[in-house]
Chain A
Amino acid sequence: MSDVIAARTKRSTREALGPYGKIGKTLGELDDRLGVAKGGRTFMDKIFPDHWSFMLGEIALYSFVILMVTGIFLTLYFVPSSAIVTYHGSYLPLDGQKVTQAFSSTVDLSFAVRGGLLMRQMHHWACDIFVGALIVHMARIFFTGAFRKPRELNWTIGISMLILAIANGFLGYSLPDDLVSGTGIRIAYSIMESIPFVGTYLAFFVFGGNFPGTMVIPRFFILHVLIVPLILLGLVGAHLFLLVRQKHTQFPGQGRTEKNVVGSPMFPVFMAKTTGFLFIVGGITALLGAFAQINPIWQFGPYDASRISYAVQPDWYMGWLDGVLRIFPSWTFHSFGHTIPFEVFIPAVVFPGIIFNLAIMWPMIERKFTGDNEIHHLLDRPSNRPKRTAVGVAVLVLLSMLHIASATDVIANFFHVSLNTTLIGMRVLCIISPFIAYPITYKICKEMQGVHGAGKRKTPNVVTRTAEGEYFATESPAYSEDMHDGLAATPIPTFIEPKPEEPFESGVRTVDR
């Protein structure tokens, strides 16, 4: 009897809740207050393209998440202070040494805190992966033309995040106050000093006086854990907001046009894949943290301004800056009672300034050359834009050469050539390699444009036999993900490479792929 009543009550409750049960009811309550139903449905239906290269930005985003989680753990133990203490911790070789609190707390959190070493190594690895993913993601955006109108602002935000990520990587790397990072700070101080007119004032204001002083660790700390991450977080939010507002770009393909987006919906497909991917990135970072030692500061020892270690290398993303400092000639300006250290100022301030400004301005520069002010949602194949691709490759080759140049001493040692030869060789390579890379890339792109069926996979021929024993071979349809000849060709602005024999109308020429 009571069972029947219970069942009845249950059913009536369910009816009262409506067809979608408790979840539906909760969402209804939420909609009463915030009016989220319509937007929520649109968000659940948001389409994400399936191409693998859209995953690169996700790697960056998830390493940033890992950086924040592991970073919060580290702040609970790290002491940002230059006060001198005598080390009496669990790492016996350092026992009795006078070290700063920053150094001693970093060693302690690595050895005395359970899981501390793993968190520290994961933090460092996640940073290396973060900057790497940002650069590869940026390269994808660049080579496929995803930065074009309407996405110029998001490109600028992306470059700003890259600059901040590199800066914050350097700040974090400096915090433990070990021998290697201390040398890095010394170099940063000298670079600030090299700026004409304001250099020494800038260095004194940043460091609170002469190098090294006691202010630099606490200041770098607050920049590293609060100010820069806060700006980065804001920019990540803006980046994702613009992505949702403007929707994804996509590669051309079956059913894909400038007016739609094809792929998987936010819920459940993309959500499952991307959450899984977060776990994978986290898992790989943890495995690296477990098995690949990184920045063992107790082996370097505490910072001492009068000591130095041989073959000192910064984190990988600083390599190109170190390389250009190494190979730049010793030009300096001494006159009128003043000095401009060109040998530092040009490679360490002017050169990165030019590179980053060029990157930020690129959408504008390209528009100037092509006159293309159209809105683009379909991506380019890099070979269809040979000049842009060649410029990108030339810059990447230059930066890679500079990166290699940051290891002149190691190269000289390894190959048993003199340091002089290595240095002069690297100078020559850095200057000529971009000029070799440009025409080669350009030519390869041009060749690829002419290759019939480039960008398509081979499809099998289907052979059928009739009842009479006659054979017919028919082509099977092309893969839907591939680009089709039958598709409407992407409009290409004629201004890129106008053919004089082809008069064009309305500034748009269509080409068959």
Chain B
Amino acid sequence: MSDQHEHRTPVSLSDLSENDPHLQPAAKNPKTVELVIAITFVVGTLLLAGFGACYWINAEPWTLGATMGGGLFFLGVGLVAWGKYLMPRGPFVEERHVLANSEADRDAFAAAIVERGGGVMKRRKILGGLLGGGLGIFSVVAMFPLLRSLGPLPKGTLFHTDWRQGSFAVDQTGRRVSAGDLAVGSIMTIFPEGSQDSDRGQAVDQTILIRVSNQNFTTMKGRESWTPMGYVAYSKLCTHLGCPVGLYEQQLQLLVCPCHQSMFNVNNGAVPQFGPAPRPLPQLPLYIDADGFIRSQGDYNQPVGPGFWERA
């Protein structure tokens, strides 16, 4: 019983005789293990050859992965088993050496830096200062090409959109939206005409247009004229992180952002009712012109999207 523990004292690799039990394989019957490993190697090799064949005949993608993965897996299992059961079982031991050097060596190292360095700097403080100044200037001027050229400055671009007084509202294909287009209780995404194809237009100007059933609908005091015929428009950019507020819960009159579940009350000036969004969605003032087209009275009265430092 104790036989299997007897030779488990770790020995060093350097002083081993050829017949040392530590060099024996760990397996009790190596012949059987050899056979099993041979089988895994054969299966693995066949599968890898199969990978070649599958690639050659342009078979389904999953066959490529199955043959390559299976082949590698079997070869790997065989190799691990070979190392674990048929190679010297050990255990072997290796001495650790203290990494730290003697006190004298440390002192010599420190002396080289402190004394020689001190000798160099002695009465040359001004030279050192000048060199330091030069490097300092370099690190500052290097910032210009490395950093400053990366992009334009934000300036005012975050404060306004492309909605102007009289901008026609168009859908993504550029078709003008007229008062009869939207069924009561439905929504669509609109852009100011001309910017529906531009990156910036899609990212910044996107506005959600909702038609509520109440013809005399108004969102809040002072915005009575912004919602003709029950048409109400809010910026589609969530004030939390700028995701498009794409879900409309008609019964509760809520706009929901799918990213982090902020909810905005359509009836009440899109005040956030729930979730992490801190501000209402800005509302776009609309009017309907003589031809029945929906147009904007002007830009949003505040920056759209998430908050940033310069935003008042």
Query: Do A and B share a complex?
Result: yes
* Interface residue ranges, A against B (CB under 8 Å): 45-47, 50, 114-115, 117-118, 121-122, 150, 183, 186-187, 189-191, 193-201, 203-215, 245-247, 254-256, 258-265, 268-273, 275-291, 304-312, 322, 325-332, 334, 337-341, 343-344, 377, 408-409, 419-420, 423, 460, 462, 476-477, 479-480
**Closest chain B residue to A214, Cβ basis:** B199
> Which residues of B are found within 8 Å of A117, using beta-carbon distances?
61
Give Cα A134–Cα B276 distance, bound, in whole angstroms: 31
By the criterion CB–CB under 8 Å, are B199 and A50 in contact? no
Q: Is B307 part of the contact surface with A, judged by Cβ < 8 Å?
A: yes
21 CB contacts below 8 A, A to B, read: A183-B243, A186-B242, A200-B310, A208-B151, A211-B203, A211-B204, A260-B93, A265-B88, A276-B79, A279-B79, A280-B72, A283-B70, A283-B74, A290-B65, A325-B241, A330-B240, A334-B312, A339-B308, A343-B240, A343-B276, A420-B274
User: Once the chains are docked, how many angstroms separate the CA of A259 from the CA of B58?
Assistant: 57
Chain B, residues 45-80, CB within 8 Å of chain A (1/0): the string is 000000000010010011111101111111111111
A326 and B241 form a contact (CB under 8 A): no
Most A CB within 10 A of own CB, among B55, B65, B66, B71 = B65
Q: Is B126 among interface residues, defined by CB-CB distance under 8 A?
A: no
Q: A residues within 8 A CB of B305? A: 190
A275 to B72, CA, bound (A): 11
User: Given the complex, which residues of A lie within 8 Å of B84, measured CB to CB?
Assistant: 273
Residue of B with least CB distance to A412: B261
Instruction: Encode B200-230 as 1/0 by CB contact (under 8 A) with A.
Output: 1011101000000000000000000000000
Q: Nearest residue in B to A276 (C-beta to C-beta)?
A: B79
Contact of A118 among B9, B65, B154, B206 (CB under 8 A): B65
- Most chain A Cβ neighbours within 10 Å, of B13, B79, B262: B79
Q: Which residue of A lies closest to B208 (CB)?
A: A306
A117 to B62, CA, bound (A): 9
Of B94-102, B129-137, B175-183, B286-294, the one with at least 4 CB within 8 A of chain A: B94-102
| 11 additional contacts (CB under 8 A) given A280-B77, A283-B69 | A47-B92, A186-B241, A204-B153, A211-B204, A215-B151, A255-B10, A272-B87, A273-B79, A308-B258, A330-B276, A479-B5
Most chain A CB atoms below 10 A, which of B75, B88, B96, B202: B96
A255 to B9 alpha-carbon distance, docked (Å): 7
Complex-state Cα separation, A210 to B272, whole angstroms:
26
B261 surroundings in chain A (CB, below 8 A): 326, 408-409, 419, 423
Q: Does B150 belong to the interface (CB within 8 Å)?
A: yes
Interface size on B, residues (CB 8 A): 88
Contact check, A341 vs B306: say whether CB atoms are below 8 A apart: yes
Whether B200 and A210, one on each chain, are in contact in the complex, defined by CB atoms closer than 8 angstroms, is: yes
Restricting to B237-271, which residues have a CB under 8 Å from any CB of A?
A: 240-244, 246-247, 258-262
When each residue 6-25 of chain B gets 1 if its CB lies under 8 Å from chain A and 0 otherwise, what string results?
Answer: 00111001100000000000
Cβ contact of B152, chosen from A204, A276, A278, A306, cutoff 8 A: A204
Tell me, yes or no, whether B90 is within 8 Å of chain A by CB. yes
Q: How far is the CA of A327 from the CA of B274 in the complex (A)?
A: 11
A330 and B77 within 8 A (CB): no
A210 to chain B minimum Cβ distance, whole angstroms, is 6
The residue that A199 contacts in the complex, of B14, B82, B259, B308, with Cβ under 8 A, is B308
Question: CA–CA, A338 to B76, complex, Å?
Answer: 60
Residue of B88, B95, B242, B274 with most partner-chain A CB within 10 A: B242
CB distance A212 to B199 under 8 Å?
yes
Q: In the complex the two chains form, is B96's CB within 8 Å of A480's CB?
A: no
Q: Once the chains bind, are A282 and B76 in contact (CB under 8 Å)?
A: yes
- Residues of chain A within 8 A (CB-CB) of B96 are 247, 258-261, 377
